[in-house]
Amino acid sequence: MGVAIIEGLHMLFAIFWFGGTLFSNFVLGPATARTSPAAAGEMGTQIGIQANRVIPPVAGLAILLGFLRGTVWGPIDSLNAVFNTAFGRWWLIALVLAIITFVWGLRITGPAAAAIGTATTGEERAARVQRTIQLASLELIGFFGVFSMMILMRFYP
């Protein structure tokens, strides 16, 4: 029963994190690019404040629960299991990719998104939105890598 709860929470937090990135990339970004500088500034500021309150803890919990799901409630009980089993290698790659994706969002994409709100012209705002979408697209590549490793863990243990 405990494993199912941990796995369910891990998936819930991961879906929330991934979904937030998709929504930002394909809905919020393009909408922000089409608004007036004043509206974009206010909207961007408020979205940034709320996203910084919610996304880092959710992403951190997804990573932590994935770690625990592989170790405490999973087959990884030693470094030998990490490096000498297919599951362990896929799990390690997924963990590293998730951490890189998390740090990228926190240190690169997040600040770029926050800068959208300080643009003073429509052209500057559109350029910042486009840059943020490009940076967030790299996060989506990270998610694709993590999901690929999770599939490999299931089918090639």
What's the chain's average pLDDT?
90
pLDDT given for residue 19 in this prediction = 94
User: Residue 110 to residues 9, 51, 104: CA-CA distances in angstroms?
Assistant: 24, 9, 8
pLDDT at 24 over 90: no
3-state secondary structure of 44: helix
Reported as a single tens digit per residue, the pLDDT across 91-132 is 999 999 999 999 999 999 888 888 877 888 878 888 888 898
pLDDT at 1 over 70: no
